[in-house]
Amino acid sequence: MDAKILIESFADFARSKNVDRPTMIRILEDVFRAMIRKKFESDENFDVTINADKGDLEIFRIREIVDDNSEDIWDFDKISFSEARKIEPDFEIGEEVYEKIELEEFGRRAVQMARQTLIQRIKDLEKDILYNKYEEQVGEIVSAEVYQILGREILLMDAEGNELILPKGEQIPKDRFRKGDTVKAIVHRVDMMNGNPKIILSRTSPVFLERLFENEVPEVYDGLITIVKIVREPGERAKVAVESYDDRIDPVGACVGMKGSRIHAVVRELQNENIDVINFTDNLELYVTRALSPAKVSSITVNKETKRISVFLKPDQVSLAIGKGGFNIKLASKLVDYEIDVFRELNEYEEEDVDLIEFSDEIEGWIIDELKKTGLDTAKSVLTLGKEDLLRRTELEEETIDEIFRILRQEFEQ
CA angle 289, 290, 294 (to 5 degrees): 95
| Final residue belonging to a domain, choices 174, 204, 234 | 204
Does some domain include residue 248? no
Does some domain include residue 173? yes
Does some domain include residue 304? no
Indicate if 116 and 189 belong to the same structural domain: no
Indicate if 189 and 68 belong to the same structural domain: no
CATH number at residue 77: 3.30.1480
How far is it, in rounded angstroms, from Cα 212 to Cα 221? 10
pLDDT score, position 346: 59
CA angle 298, 300, 301 (to 5 degrees): 150
Number of domains in the chain: 3
Does some domain include residue 20? yes
Is 301:308 a contact under the CB 8 Å cutoff? no
Indicate if 83 and 122 belong to the same structural domain: yes
Q: Can you give the residue range of the structural domain that contains 191?
A: 137-204
pLDDT score, position 56: 80
Which residue from 112, 132, 135 is spatially nearest to 6, judged by alpha carbons? 112
Bond into 251 cis (ω within 30): no
Indicate if 106 and 181 belong to the same structural domain: no
Global pTM? Answer: 0.68
3-state secondary structure of 146: strand
3-state secondary structure of 45: coil
Which residue from 28, 72, 17, 80 is spatially nearest to 53, judged by alpha carbons? 28
Output Rg (C-alpha) for the chain, integer angstroms. Answer: 37
Does some domain include residue 365? yes
pLDDT in tens, 334-390: 999 999 988 877 554 455 677 888 888 888 888 888 888 777 888 888 887 778 878
pLDDT score, position 414: 55
CATH number at residue 143: 2.40.50.140
The low-confidence residues of the chain, meaning pLDDT below 70, are: 1-2, 346-352, 412-414
Does some domain include residue 213? no
- The H or E element that residue 313 is part of is strand 308-313
Does some domain include residue 85? yes
Indicate if 127 and 154 belong to the same structural domain: no
| Final residue belonging to a domain, choices 172, 188, 204 | 204
Indicate if 54 and 166 belong to the same structural domain: no
Output the CA torsion sign for 243, 246, 252, 254: negative
pLDDT score, position 330: 92
Does some domain include residue 385? yes
pLDDT score, position 121: 79
CATH number at residue 394: 1.10.150
pLDDT score, position 169: 93
pLDDT score, position 385: 77
pLDDT score, position 1: 53
| Final residue belonging to a domain, choices 132, 159, 186 | 132
Residue 197: Cβ-neighbour burial (10 angstroms; 0-12, 13-18, 19+)? buried
